[in-house]
C-alpha cells in the first residue's frame, strides 16, 4: 500500500509539473502571438543606429578604439536577432521592408550574414585599440548596412 501511495504522489507531482510546463509554453506562445514584429524590427534598428553613432563618436573624437568594443558586440547581437523578425505576413503595415525580403529570402539572409561578418571585424578592430583599424572596419560595416538597405528597404520619403 505504501508503494502505491508513493507512486500516486509521484504521479501527481509529475502531472503538476507537466501542467506548469504547458502553461509556461502556452504563455510564451501567447506572448509571441501578441508581439509586433514590425515594431520589434524598428526598435532593433534604432538600437543599431545608436550603436553605430556611438562608434562614430569614438572615431570622430580620435578616442580609444577599445571604447567601441561593447557597441560593436551589440551590433552583432542585434543583427542575429534582426533577421528572425520577418515572419510571413509581417510585410503589411508600417514597415519599410520591401517585398524582396520575402521573395528573395536567401539574398536577405546572405546580406544579414555579411553584416554579421562586418560587425565581427568591427569588434576585432575595436579590441585592437587601433583607431585607424576601427575607422576602416566601421566604413566596411556601413557598406554592409547600406547594401542591405539598397535591396531590402524602402527609401525614406
Residues 25 and 62 in one domain: no
Residues 6 and 45 in one domain: no
Residues 66 and 24 in one domain: no
Give the three-class secondary structure for 153.
strand
Residues 120 and 83 in one domain: yes
Residues of the chain by 3-state class (helix, strand, coil), percent to 5: 80, 0, 20
List, for residues 87-108, the tens digit of each pLDDT value: 999 999 999 999 999 999 999 9
Taken in order 107, 36, 43, 69, the sign of the CA dihedral is: negative
Q: Which CATH number fits the domain that encloses residue 93? A: 1.20.120.10
List, for residues 41-98, the tens digit of each pLDDT value: 999 999 999 999 999 999 999 999 999 999 999 999 999 999 999 999 999 999 999 9
Domain of residue 24, residue span = 1-34
Per DSSP, 95 falls in state -
pLDDT at 18 exceeding the cut of 80: no
Cell of 149: 538597405
Instruction: Return the residue matching grid coordinates 566604413.
Output: 139
Number of domains in the chain: 2
Amino acid at each position: 500500500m505504501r508503494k502505491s501511495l508513493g507512486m500516486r504522489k509521484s504521479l501527481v507531482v509529475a502531472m503538476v509539473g507537466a501542467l506548469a510546463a504547458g502553461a509556461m509554453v502556452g504563455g510564451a506562445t501567447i506572448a509571441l502571438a501578441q508581439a509586433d514584429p514590425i515594431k520589434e524590427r524598428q526598435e532593433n534598428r534604432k538600437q543599431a543606429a545608436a550603436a553605430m553613432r556611438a562608434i562614430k563618436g569614438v572615431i570622430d573624437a580620435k578616442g580609444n578604439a577599445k571604447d567601441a568594443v561593447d557597441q560593436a558586440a551589440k551590433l552583432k547581437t542585434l543583427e542575429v536577432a534582426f533577421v528572425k523578425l520577418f515572419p510571413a505576413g509581417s510585410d503589411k503595415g508600417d514597415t519599410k521592408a520591401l517585398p524582396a525580403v520575402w521573395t528573395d529570402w536567401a539574398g536577405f539572409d546572405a546580406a544579414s550574414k555579411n553584416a554579421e561578418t562586418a560587425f565581427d571585424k568591427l569588434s576585432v578592430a575595436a579590441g585592437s585599440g587601433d583607431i585607424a583599424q576601427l575607422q576602416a572596419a566601421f566604413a566596411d560595416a556601413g557598406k554592409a548596412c547600406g547594401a542591405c538597405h539598397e535591396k531590402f528597404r524602402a527609401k525614406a520619403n
